Amino acid sequence: MEKETKNFIEKIIEEDLETGKYGGRVHTRFPPEPNGYLHIGHAKSICLNFGIAEKYGGLCNLRFDDTNPEKEEEEYVRAIIEDVRWLGFDWEDRLYYASDYFERLYECAVELIKKGKAYVDDLSAEEIRKYRGTLTEPGKESPYRNRSVEENLDLFERMRKGEFDEGQKVLRAKIDMASGNINMRDPVIYRIIKKPHHRTGDRWCIYPTYDFAHPLSDSFEGITHSLCTLEFEDHRPLYDWFLDQLELYHPQQIEFARLNLSYTVLSKRKLTRLVEEGHVSGWDDPRMPTIAGMRRRGYTPEAIRDFCDRIGVAKANSIVDFELLEHCLRDDLNKRCPRVMVVLNPIRVIITNYPEDRVEYVEAINNPEDPTAGTREVPFSRELYIEADDFMEEPPKKFYRLAPGREVRLKHAYIIKCEDYEKDPETGRITTLYCTYDPESKSGSNQQKKVKATLHWVSARHAMDVEVRLYDRLFRVPNPDDKKECPDFIDCLNPDSLKILTNCKAEPSLKNARPGERFQFLRLGYFAVDLDSSEEKLVFNRTVTLRDTWKKIKSKIS
């Protein structure tokens, strides 16, 4: 039914394949800068680059764009490698670093100088800005623009040797100060930075800029299609210019729209701020849209990849509904997660006609979506816990769970009837429900009385105390990037994005759950064991709720 549709990049590639532009090769790369953690927006790019290579029998490299030692750290390199691998992609032996090319890059810069296409400029950063002109006015040429090749060569070599201070000199491409494209107004291609680099140490004190390093790195690696985001569209003439001037193998840059997701932010600057100002517990806080955060939250790589497939690739800016991500997540989790019963907000139920010391083990299906998942035994006894939300003293019409005089089924067990209840006179909170059970109604028996609701429950005597962390969207508005609505995006954070429940009651089969394991808590949602769990206490992260029709009805009738 679903016809396979190609995105515009695939169309370009298929055309190139047909015309033999790159000899039938397809070679892409994912080029992160190691200055932060990867997020779901990067996942789009990763899936695109690795996905296209796979689809056309090509290759995809992982390359760190580490040309700025002021911002980059080893820690990020480690995290990025882990995340890309976790997503399920393999670059085999093609792990590269732009810093591996520093010597070659330097030689290319020398070559450019020799061709009269680059010069050392003594203007300060401030002066360069002034000389650059504005969006509507052309720039002015630097007084140092026409130095001789020899002088430039000498100066550039001395820059490398560390004879000058930071900011004192830069190497600039000699292009066109009057260009309508500001990137072509003699862009800086080398600057002095006297900071140790995480890989090259103090071997260098001059570093190439992105504009210079990127096309050349792509060229060195034999990349065919260099996919990047829209904001680099203006840089493409520059990308092409370097390669043309240096007469190097010439990949083609193609730009696509970056991902935006509702109710979150996806800029590294903003995510860094959330971490540094402590609005979240770290890069892997389960509320973060980072790969590490989503992994901890309980997302699967399959769900993320499915999402990336479904959002498509185009050139128009857009904001994808958060609901689509959740749909992909539920779709995957539903198939793979064992079901288990956990009561988040317990109220006690006493089955008055059930023997005091009796314990029955009822058989429970682990996953109705997966027959191979088998069954388990769950203890049932006279005292149980059920969810506080599953009882109402005065139920509205559409509420068909437990209420005085009402009958419901306890999943995998018996039908019970609420005969009486107790409430705390101070708080008005229901404390205990007195119910009777129908011994003939056991699950699996022939007696099939119909009741409108089925509840999850846990035997009080056998219950395990667990902690559950309920996460909600990080922001309370669909578009926290909107300056009109959120002058400062921090002010639009959702104050209820995390609720910690410490008095939750879990069925005993969960005893051996290990960090990273995922479950469906029946009727509630999907939960993953957090690494904060200990022998004494399990901690669960709510990955995503189940679709909740009752919640909708409830909000409509109120």
As a whole number of angstroms, the distance between CA 282 and CA 108 comes to: 40
Position 445 contacts RNA (CB under 7 A) = yes
Catalytic-residue membership of 268: yes
Residue 25 or 327: which CB sits closer to RNA? 327
CB of 494 to RNA, least distance (A): 19
Binding segment (CB under 7 A) for RNA, from list 18-26, 154-162, 366-374, 488-496: 366-374
Figure out which of the listed residues 28, 49, 61, 68 binds RNA, where binding follows CB under 7 A: 68
Figure out which of the listed residues 18, 20, 23, 70 binds RNA, where binding follows CB under 7 A: 70
> Would you give the end-to-end CA distance of the chain in angstroms?
41
Show Cβ contacts of residue 368 under 8 Å, excluding neighbours closer than 6 positions: 339
Nearest Cα residue to 233 out of 265, 198, 213, 257: 257
Q: Are 224 and 26 in contact (CB under 8 A)?
A: yes
Contact code string over 500-519 relative to RNA, x by CB under 7 A: --------------------
Figure out which of the listed residues 12, 21, 25, 33 binds RNA, where binding follows CB under 7 A: 33
As a whole number of angstroms, the distance between CA 2 and CA 493 comes to: 38
- Binding-site size for RNA (CB under 7 A) equals 98
Locus of tokens 């591996």? 100
CB of 404 to RNA, least distance (A): 15
Residue 68 or 541: which CB sits closer to RNA? 68
CA distances from 48 to 124, 210, 411, 445 (A): 40, 21, 44, 52
φ, ψ of residue 96 to 5 degrees: the values are: -120, 165
Residue 168 or 503: which CB sits closer to RNA? 168
CB of 431 to RNA, least distance (A): 22
Find the catalytic residue in 10, 21, 25, 33.
33
CA distances from 363 to 118, 221, 370, 446, 462 (A): 77, 59, 16, 16, 16
Show Cβ contacts of residue 494 under 8 Å, excluding neighbours closer than 6 positions: 472, 473, 474, 475, 476
Show Cβ contacts of residue 246 under 8 Å, excluding neighbours closer than 6 positions: 108, 111, 112, 216
Binding segment (CB under 7 A) for RNA, from list 102-110, 287-295, 536-544, 547-555: 547-555
- Name the H helices within 312-451: 322-336
Residue 172 CB burial class (10 angstroms; 0-12, 13-18, ≥19): buried
CA dihedral 279, 84, 45, 36 (to 10 degrees): 30
Position 477 contacts RNA (CB under 7 A) = no
Figure out which of the listed residues 257, 373, 388, 501 binds RNA, where binding follows CB under 7 A: 257
Figure out which of the listed residues 117, 132, 140, 476 binds RNA, where binding follows CB under 7 A: 132
CB of 258 to RNA, least distance (A): 9
Residue 125 or 359: which CB sits closer to RNA? 125
The one-letter amino acid at 93:
D
Look up residue 471 and give its two tokens: 């996460």
CB of 531 to RNA, least distance (A): 26
Position 166 contacts RNA (CB under 7 A) = yes
Residue 288 or 340: which CB sits closer to RNA? 340
CB of 26 to RNA, least distance (A): 18
Locus of tokens 């109604």? 441
Figure out which of the listed residues 29, 42, 160, 191 binds RNA, where binding follows CB under 7 A: 191
Nearest Cα residue to 284 out of 26, 532, 533, 24: 532
Binding segment (CB under 7 A) for RNA, from list 22-30, 120-128, 197-205, 283-291: 120-128
- Which residues between 205 and 234 bind RNA (CB under 7 A)? 207, 209-211, 214, 230-234
Position 546 contacts RNA (CB under 7 A) = yes
Binding segment (CB under 7 A) for RNA, from list 41-49, 76-84, 149-157, 176-184: 176-184
Residue 226 or 533: which CB sits closer to RNA? 226
- Which residues between 282 and 341 bind RNA (CB under 7 A)? 310-321, 323-324, 327, 330-331, 334, 339
CB of 406 to RNA, least distance (A): 11
Look up residue 221 and give its two tokens: 């690696």
Binding segment (CB under 7 A) for RNA, from list 47-55, 110-118, 144-152, 190-198: 190-198
Beta bridge partners of 169: none
Name all contacts of 71-79 with Cβ < 8 Å and 24+ positions apart: 71/33, 71/35, 72/33, 72/34, 72/35, 72/197, 72/198, 73/34, 73/35, 73/198, 74/34, 74/198, 76/34, 76/35, 76/36, 76/37, 77/34, 77/198, 79/37, 79/38, 79/283, 79/292
Find the catalytic residue in 94, 117, 258, 476.
258
Position 90 contacts RNA (CB under 7 A) = no
As a whole number of angstroms, the distance between CA 388 and CA 254 comes to: 55
Figure out which of the listed residues 199, 295, 409, 542 binds RNA, where binding follows CB under 7 A: 409
Figure out which of the listed residues 22, 44, 62, 65 binds RNA, where binding follows CB under 7 A: 65
Catalytic-residue membership of 33: yes
- Name the H helices within 280-388: 291-297, 301-311, 322-336
Find the catalytic residue in 44, 63, 268, 305.
268
Figure out which of the listed residues 29, 250, 523, 542 binds RNA, where binding follows CB under 7 A: 523
Residue 438 or 532: which CB sits closer to RNA? 438
**Which positions are catalytic?**
33, 258, 268
